[in-house]
Amino acid sequence: AQSVAQPEDQVNVAEGNPLTVKCTYSVSGNPYLFWYVQYPNRGLQFLLKYITGDNLVKGSYGFEAEFNKSQTSFHLKKPSALVSDSALYFCAVRDILTGGGNKLTFGTGTQLKVEL
Amino acid sequence: EAQVTQNPRYLITVTGKKLTVTCSQNMNHEYMSWYRQDPGLGLRQIYYSMNVEVTDKGDVPEGYKVSRKEKRNFPLILESPSPNQTSLYFCASSLSVLRGETQYFGPGTRLLVL
């Protein structure tokens, strides 16, 4: 079965500092990995995904994520946080080998708070 | 504009009163899915559809029904809502689910069952 863990319910960072939102996954084969962001009273918006190839994936709004197969991680990063980055972030996984039941499995979400 | 739309956005109802939440996409996507979002639990899949007339259960299907008579529409039906179905619901669609295609989400429907 595929699963994903976001170990931090909340991450606080000062504006201008780098941010990291952690995600680890478990699959039988190789993963498709996604990050989504949810702003208050909005639906989920796609940020970036890893399918294959370069382990460093660049996405929207200056975010990037690094796929690390040995550590089964896909942490979301940004070099310089903005107050407007404050939102709820979800990591999601799908197992390529098993098909993952034809679905994505989402983590529980990490609330990012960027303060002045 | 490519989008997934849901209606209504907010709904307050009473236990046992049947309701339908509509979902429509204009991207000619084959795959559609319903999720519910609850604090501390993330998003959990209720039902999904691989194509017209093809639907299947997700992780939490109890108390819900769906249908996929047209490619663009995927309504979620609660025949006898109960308070434990109070939640935030999202519809999503993608070209398929086979090759890591991105899922696009609707704006959400906040449901309160009294």
In chain A, how many H helices and how many E strands? 0, 12
Residue B60 to residue A64: CA distance in whole angstroms: 32
Predicted confidence band of residue A99 (pLDDT cuts 50, 70, 90): low
Q: Cβ(B112)–Cβ(B84) under 8 Å?
A: no
Does B86 have pLDDT greater than 80?
yes
| Mean pLDDT within B64-87 | 97
What is the rounded average pLDDT of the residues A37-55? 91
Given a contact cutoff of 8 angstroms between Cβ atoms, the answer to whether A1 and A103 are in contact is: no
Mean pLDDT of chain B: 94
Give the residue-averaged pLDDT of B26-47.
94
A99 contacts on B by Cβ (under 8 Å): 98
Mean of the pLDDT values across residues B12-35?
96
* Confidence band for A100, pLDDT divided at 50, 70 and 90: low
Residue type, B105: F
Res B73: pLDDT: 98
Inter-chain touch B42–A106, beta carbons under 8 Å: yes
Which one of B31, B43, B97 has the shortest CB-CB distance to A90? B43
Residue A115's H or E segment, with its range, is: strand A110-115
CB contact under 8 A, B58 and A106: no
A74 in Cβ contact with A89 (< 8 Å) = no
Q: Look at residue A104 and tell me whether its pLDDT is greater than 70.
A: yes
Instruction: Kindly tell me if the per-residue pLDDT of B100 is higher than 90.
Output: no
Residue B83 has pLDDT above 80, yes or no: yes
pLDDT level of residue B98 (50, 70, 90 thresholds): confident
Contact A28, A94 (CB under 8 A): no
Return the pLDDT at A23: 98
Is A49 touching B (CB cutoff 8 A)?
yes
- Answer yes or no: is pLDDT of A98 > 90: no
Here the tokens at position B98 are 């086979």
pLDDT higher than 80, residue A101? no
In DSSP terms, A48 is beta-bridged to: A35
- Distances A103 to A17, A26, A82 between C-alpha atoms, Å: 35, 15, 32
